[in-house]
Each structure stands twice: as C-alpha cells, then as structure tokens.
Structure 1
C-alpha cells in the first residue's frame, strides 16, 4: 500500500507536463507524480481511458478524484495559501464552475501554451444512425 497520494497526468501532453512541473516546483504538493503512460494503472485502480481524459489524484486508500477535484487535492496538499484555494474548489457552486473550466481547458489543451497535437483528446466517433 502506498503512503502518499499519486497525481496521474498525461505525459504526452506538453501543457499537462509543464503544469505538473510548475506545481512540483512552486506549490510543492505532498504526492508522487507520474505520467499515466508509465503508471501501474491497474494497481492504482484506474483505466487508461479515464487517465487520458483527466488528471487524477489517487489516495493511498484507492479513492480516485478526477479533473478539477484532483486539482483541488493538489492545492489542498500544498504549502502556503494554496490549501484555501483548494478548499474553495470543493464547495458548490465553485466546484461546478471549476468542473466546467477544467473541461474547457482539458478539451482545448492542445491549444494552450506548451500544447501540441499530442495533447488533443481523441475524438469520439459520432453515433451511428439506426
């Protein structure tokens, strides 16, 4: 069993990698970080589909938080004033807004600074007409 949370991110995405490295240097969250492409996803209890869709925070007990709530967990585990911002992200209606902002950024991460074509989320095929 792990004794620290794990932050799982998309290592192929320049924007994601840069964001995680920034957090490691400036926020200093109390967690391990790993790109999902190199992680033991089965051991963490997550699928590659979910890991490629959003950043994940996996607690030592195996609880998985994704997207904006994973970001909130990073902030909550950081030093300085960051835990206050993290706590705010967990409260409705801020949590709802944070989810929308996270999805907007995640869906457009290939357009963000440092983003590349590898950052783009795979397109889902359109439903077939019956």
Structure 2
C-alpha cells in the first residue's frame, strides 16, 4: 500500500507546504485533501479529528501531528530528511511536538483553516 498523506487543503499554510513538497511526495505517496467535499475519513477516524492535526499513513500505521510531519518529510527527502532527523532527537522532539500541538489547538480554536464544506 502506498503511503497516504491526509492534509487540510483549506488551510493556507498547510496547502503551501504540501504544494511545495508535492513534486517530491507525489511519486511516493497519495496526497488526500481532507477539505474536499467528497472526502470520507478512513475507518476509525473522524473528519473533526483529522482536521485537528495532520495524519500520515506510512504503510504500517497512522502517524498523527508532528510524527506525521516527520514521516512525510523523510519520504520527501533532501533537506527535509535532515530536518526530520534533527527534530527526532530526544528533547527536541518533545519541544517541537509541544509547539505543534499548541499551534494545532490555536488553529482550531480560532477557526483558522475551517473545512470548505
């Protein structure tokens, strides 16, 4: 099964990141815009939960939040692989994960990047 990246195309920041990475990711992963009107979440997930944090199914399991970003950055390769390696280091991962989770909560709480539907 090809890895699948579930991203919020209604979020300008999310969309810009994925468009930047698209040439590197498209040959290696399926890119799914969860803000599309015909999107159906995979079994066991809800749209609301998937909107809260980015999801990446790497073929073995679903990664969520910063772990998802690290997974698809590794897949994208180049400088992103190094960034993923750096942010995977003990201590740095916990700080970056905390920061990601605060940003994700802020985004939802302030209704930034609401789904298009």
TM range (shorter): 0.7 to 0.9
Aligned to 1:103: 101
Equivalent in 58, 64, 67 of residue 65 of structure 2? 67
Aligned to 2:52: 53
* Contact 2:10 2:114 (C-alpha < 8 Å) held by counterparts: no
Larger-gyration structure (1/2) = 1
Aligned to 2:113: 119
Aligned to 1:42: 42
Per-residue CA deviations over 1:30-58 (Å, capped at 9, x if unaligned) read 31111123433134x42222201001111
Aligned to 1:124: none
Residues of 1 paired with 2:47 and 2:56: CA distance? Answer: 14
Aligned to 1:6: 4
Report the TM-score when normalising by structure 2.
0.75
Extract structure 1 runs of 4+ deviating beyond 3 A.
Answer: 37-40, 107-110
* Contact 1:12 1:118 (C-alpha < 8 Å) held by counterparts: no
How big is the shift at 1:118? Answer: 4.7
Give the alignment's Cα RMSD to 1 decimal.
2.6
